[in-house]
Structure 1
């Protein structure tokens, strides 16, 4: 597997990014402001993440997605750890991530990778998304914010 920055002339892997965020408008907006990275295996994109500088010394992991055929192989954890290492190597002091209250697997993954819950943005998904989102039989309403000092 090779992880690299998406080149400006390459199309963004929108279908993959939409697995983690159902708003194409929001995805395209933050991809324009951040840097998209792809994980490739045999020249096939199997994973993606976006790093977005937010404040001095802080970067946010705003989207991380793994192709459904690659689920359960530890790729998500590898991408989170890679993003964290990149942020540290680039001199950031903090990396943040946000996920839905219904994203049970993602909440566990981020904590296993060293992130700690810092806050809850109540009703984030009801304010910013027109359609209801459901995962794991739970309505996604709140954004759980996590961070890690680097």
Structure 2
């Protein structure tokens, strides 16, 4: 796991597009991560990547008392190999390193597979919200 560099931007953007493209038909719109400004996120030190060929990435934003997991993306051909779980385990390590006692995230209510993964890792649903005309599930994980 390492911080993304400016030279990774093209690969980061390609990975995000590939990872989220299958969800467009499911939710009826482009998921928010597909529209993010990765140049800015990389320059702010928010994007972490894993794998020699950028197998996955996670975007982490420290907030007051919590680490916000803004985006988790895994290359489509590598699903089921534990990359997403390792990215989320890294997020927990980062939260602890920063002295933050919890993590939070949002995911679209129609992304049932993602919700199930987060729940299996100890995240709990804290509510539903309308964001940009979409229903999202708010989730949180308190660290021991």
TM range (shorter): 0.7 to 0.9
Out of 105, 110, 113, the residue aligned to residue 105 of structure 1 is 113
**Cross-structure match for 2:100:** 92
Q: Cα deviations across residues 51-99 of structure 1 (Å, max 9, x unaligned)?
A: 0123x22221000010011112121112112211221122112210110
State the distance in 1 between where 2:57 and 2:8 align: 13
Unaligned ranges ≥5, structure 2: 21-29
TM-score, normalising length from structure 2? 0.78
TM-score, normalising length from structure 1? 0.75
Does residue 1:146 correspond to 2:144, yes or no?
no
- CA 1:125–1:53: 2 relative to 1, 3 Å: same
**Count of residues in Structure 1 that have an aligned counterpart in Structure 2:** 129
Q: Structure 1 residue 31: deviation in Å?
A: 2.1
Does residue 1:49 correspond to 2:58, yes or no?
yes
* Structure in which a larger fraction of residues adopt strand: 1
Does residue 1:116 correspond to 2:124, yes or no?
yes
Unaligned ranges ≥5, structure 1: 127-140
Give the 5 Å matches for 1:1-150.
Answer: 3-7=1-5, 9-12=6-9, 13-18=12-17, 19-20=19-20, 22-23=31-32, 26-28=35-37, 31=41, 35-40=46-51, 43-54=52-63, 56-122=64-130, 124-126=131-133, 141-150=134-143
State the distance in 1 between where 2:127 and 2:45 align: 23
Give the CA RMSD over aligned residues: 2.2
State the distance in 2 between where 1:4 and 1:114 align: 24
* Structure in which a larger fraction of residues adopt helix: 2
